Amino acid sequence: MKKNEAECCDVICIHKDRVQKVLKSMPGELLLSELADFYKVFADVTRIRILCVLLESEMCVCDLAEVLSMTQSAISHQLRVLKQMKLVKNRREGKTVFYSLADGHIQSIISQGMEHITE
Interacting residues with DNA (CB under 7 A): 8-9, 11-13, 40, 43-47, 60-62, 65, 70-74, 76-81, 90, 92, 94-98
- Compute the Cα dihedral for 50, 53, 55, 59 and give only its sign: negative
Q: Are 55 and 101 in contact (CB under 8 A)?
A: yes
Distances in whole angstroms, Cα of residue 94 to Cα of each of 32, 60, 98: 41, 12, 10
CA atoms of 58 and 96, how far apart (whole Å): 12
Task: Print the binding letters for residues 74-93 with a copy of itself: x by CB under 8 A, - otherwise.
Answer: --------------------
**Chosen from DNA, a copy of itself, none, partner binding at 90 (C-beta under 5 to 8 Å by type):** DNA
Q: Which strands form 88-93's sheet, in the order they lie side by side? A: 59-60, 96-101, 88-93
CA atoms of 100 and 14, how far apart (whole Å): 50
For position 28 contacting a copy of itself by CB under 8 A, the verdict is no
Q: From the list 2, 3, 19, 74, which residue makes contact with a copy of itself (rule: CB under 8 A)?
A: 19
Distances in whole angstroms, Cα of residue 110 to Cα of each of 8, 15, 21: 42, 38, 33
Decide whether 2 or 69 has the Cβ nearer to a copy of itself: 69
Kindly list the residues in this chain that would bind a copy of itself in the complex (CB under 8 A).
5-6, 8-9, 12-15, 18-19, 21-23, 25-27, 29, 31-40, 42-45, 47-49, 52-53, 56-57, 59-60, 62-63, 65-67, 69, 71-72, 94-96, 103, 105, 108-110, 112-118
